[in-house]
Amino acid sequence: MVSTQPNTDTSHPHGLQQWKEAFSRASDIEFRELLEHLPAGAYTCDAEGLITYYNQRAVEVWGRSPKLNDPVDRWCGSFKLYAADGAPLQHQDCWMGLAIRENRGYNAEEIIVERPNGERLTVLAHANPLHDDDGRVTGAVNVLVDISERKQDEARLIEAQRANREFLAMLAHELRNPLAPMQNALRIMRLSGDDDDAVDHARGVLERQLLHLARVVDDLVDVSRITRNRLELRTDRVELGAIINQAIETSRPLADAMQHEVTVSLPVEPVYLQADAVRLAQVFTNLLRNAAKYTDARGRIRIVVERQGSDALVSVRDSGIGMTPEQLAVIFQMFTRAAAGNDSRGGLGIGLTLARRLVELHGGTIEARSDGLGRGSEFSVRLPIIIDAPRPVRAVPAEPEPHATDARVLVVDDNVDAADSLAELLQLIGSETHVAHDGQQAIEMAEALRPDLIFLDIGLPRMDGYEVARRIRSTEWGAGTRLVALTGWGQAEDRARSEAAGIDEHLVKPVDFGVLEGLVEAVSA
């Protein structure tokens, strides 16, 4: 057995010869040499807990070198210790002390060591008693394996799983919420007979809830693009007041439903930006919807636009529920919500993250302020402006007026409702429409009809949309047919495959009907 005779040398144990001379048996020296080369911290103590040896890896764990055979540094080097649950631990109750007192080994036991600089490391202790030739406990050896990184990874994984569960619950909530009124609206339309008012009301419900669903999906897609640095701006010279007014109109239904008072203050002189009008309108729409959502009924929302030197400052203030300092610190983080628990106003926690990133892409900044719960919130956006003389400005795109067409259109989609409803809409504007529900049928119908335009789903049975496009393009008549992918697949690789297959445009569902109508008009005779 290995003995632990007292080591009278209080210098650093390295320089093996110094401590070799303190031991009389070759087995002791071999034991120390083994510890010296371990890829982990290791140290020994005598039966009273005085440290008799430690290797360099132990110093790396502790953060300093303790003194050998010193009562101040007994047991665990006088470092602050904590149990795995974070509770303070007395040194004599560490695994080394227990191994000596109870004459038994404690292996793979967690303990937290606080280094002199306050940093805490989680280590696995392997503490085992040492005996003399008569079997008496003469001390103990402890091997320390630093598992701090592993514990951090575990904590991050647990947090990621929690966040994922919470996000999926929020997403389900956001997607289910509009389905109930949509279902009710459809029943109203079915049962109302000739009651035009009831039908008009139901139609309005469907339009609003569909817009909400589309916004949720669009936000998710935008977040995906932002996190992969795939979001691109289409900048032009734009006037800030027009963008603010567009955002107000877009968010007005929610504000009106809550009976909020919305006021706006714009500079006398127009303010021009080099910006993506659509994306910037999205920023202020998100801020206004956020203000409306987190303000109780009959609240106040005020938008103030000021010019400050070479910047424009836009403030959105509300009289809503406000935020705590803790909420302010994380409000722009992904999936963070101002409301807690099951508050239905919570949403997905995406809008403010998108707003911040879009503002940053425009070279600006966004800040949030609140005087506390119940005292409202204010979001301030600062953007660089164009100072030279004004020129024609591209306004935020407006919905096109409907025009009659006489194009021949083939709609291809295995979702029967999607295909038939789009075909019916196109018929209402004067198009000759036909429907196919799989790839092979699409080829056969296109061959017979020679359509001017084909709206083509990608995920089709019997033959996918890419192959349909390739085969149409391989024919003489198919060279002049306009092919437009109308699909739920919207990643960059999906668009690239469409282009390679000869598809002219790749649109991601749901698409505003005005866009589709414009495509039909472009091919009309």
First to last CA, the chain: 100
Both tokens assigned to 139: 């001390």
Whether 57 shows a pLDDT value over 90: the answer reads no
Which of 128-137, 347-356, 449-458 is the least confident region? 347-356
Q: Confidence band (pLDDT; 50, 70, 90) for 481?
A: very high
Interval 25-46 mean pLDDT: 74
Measured CA to CA in angstroms, residue 206 lies from 184, 211, 300, 359 at distances of 9, 8, 28, 32
Whether 320 shows a pLDDT value over 90: the answer reads yes
- Residue 158 in 3-state DSSP? helix
Q: How is residue 162 annotated by DSSP?
A: H
Rounded to an integer, what distance in angstroms lies between the CA atom of residue 206 and that of residue 202?
6
Measured CA to CA in angstroms, residue 124 lies from 52, 110, 128, 282 at distances of 21, 5, 13, 51
Q: What are phi and psi for residue 258, nearest 5 degrees?
A: -90, 0
The closest alpha carbon to 386, from 242, 275, 265, belongs to: 275
Whether 7 shows a pLDDT value over 50: the answer reads no
pLDDT of residue 169: 64
- Tens digits of residue pLDDT in 483-497: 999 987 877 788 899
pLDDT of residue 174: 66
- Tens digits of residue pLDDT in 356-373: 989 999 999 999 999 999
Q: Does domain 152-227 have CATH number 1.10.287.130?
A: yes
Q: What are phi and psi for residue 464, nearest 5 degrees?
A: -75, 170
Measured CA to CA in angstroms, residue 53 lies from 5, 17, 66, 362 at distances of 11, 13, 10, 61
Q: Does domain 408-523 have CATH number 3.40.50.2300?
A: yes
- Amino acid type, 385: I
Measured CA to CA in angstroms, residue 169 lies from 10, 157, 224, 237, 352 at distances of 61, 18, 19, 41, 19
Do residues 255 and 301 touch, judged by C-beta distance below 8 A?
yes
Which of 33-42, 220-229, 434-443 is the least confident region? 220-229
Q: How is residue 92 annotated by DSSP?
A: G
Rounded to an integer, what distance in angstroms lies between the CA atom of residue 18 and that of residue 7?
10
Whether 280 shows a pLDDT value over 80: the answer reads yes
Q: Does domain 16-146 have CATH number 3.30.450.20?
A: yes
Cross-strand pairs, 409: 433, 453
Q: How many residues does the chain have?
A: 525
Q: Residue 32, class by beta-carbon neighbours within 10 Å (0-12 exposed, 13-18 middle, 19+ buried)?
A: buried
Rounded to an integer, what distance in angstroms lies between the CA atom of residue 151 and that of residue 149?
5
Q: Return the CATH number of 236-384, one of 3.40.50.300, 3.30.230.10, 3.40.50.620, 3.30.565.10.
A: 3.30.565.10
Q: Confidence band (pLDDT; 50, 70, 90) for 388?
A: low
Interval 289-309 mean pLDDT: 92
- Tens digits of residue pLDDT in 392-449: 555 444 444 445 467 899 999 988 877 888 888 888 888 899 999 999 999 999 999 9
Sequence-separated (6 or more) residues with CB below 8 Å from residue 431: 405, 406, 407, 408, 409, 520
Whether 383 shows a pLDDT value over 90: the answer reads yes
Interval 345-356 mean pLDDT: 72
pLDDT of residue 419: 85
Q: What are phi and psi for residue 272, nearest 5 degrees?
A: -105, 140
pLDDT of residue 12: 44
Rounded to an integer, what distance in angstroms lies between the CA atom of residue 153 and that of residue 126?
22
Residue 312 host element (H or E) = strand 311-318
pLDDT of residue 166: 66
Do residues 79 and 59 touch, judged by C-beta distance below 8 A?
no
Q: Confidence band (pLDDT; 50, 70, 90) for 24?
A: very low
pLDDT of residue 432: 92
Which of 2-16, 70-84, 367-381, 439-453 is the least confident region? 2-16
Q: Confidence band (pLDDT; 50, 70, 90) for 340?
A: very low
Mean pLDDT of the chain: 82
Measured CA to CA in angstroms, residue 68 lies from 25, 78, 129, 320 at distances of 20, 12, 18, 64
Residue 275 host element (H or E) = strand 272-275
Rounded to an integer, what distance in angstroms lies between the CA atom of residue 285 and that of residue 291?
10
Q: Residue 316, class by beta-carbon neighbours within 10 Å (0-12 exposed, 13-18 middle, 19+ buried)?
A: buried
Q: What angle do CA 329, 333, 339 make, to 5 degrees?
A: 75
Residue with tokens 């091919």: 523
- Tens digits of residue pLDDT in 147-198: 989 988 888 888 878 767 766 766 665 677 677 678 878 888 888 777 788 8
pLDDT of residue 522: 87
Residue 220 host element (H or E) = helix 196-227
- Amino acid type, 157: L
Map out the domains of the chain as residue ranges.
Answer: 16-146, 152-227, 236-384, 408-523
Interval 312-316 mean pLDDT: 97
- Amino acid type, 387: I
pLDDT of residue 56: 86
Do residues 368 and 331 touch, judged by C-beta distance below 8 A?
yes
Q: Confidence band (pLDDT; 50, 70, 90) for 29?
A: low
pLDDT of residue 72: 82
Q: What is the DSSP string of 484-520?
A: EEEES--SHHHHHHHHHHT-SEEEESS--HHHHHHHH
Residue with tokens 């006489």: 406
The closest alpha carbon to 279, from 327, 238, 325, belongs to: 238
- Tens digits of residue pLDDT in 244-269: 998 898 888 888 888 999 999 999 99
Measured CA to CA in angstroms, residue 10 lies from 13, 18, 52, 78, 139 at distances of 8, 10, 9, 16, 18
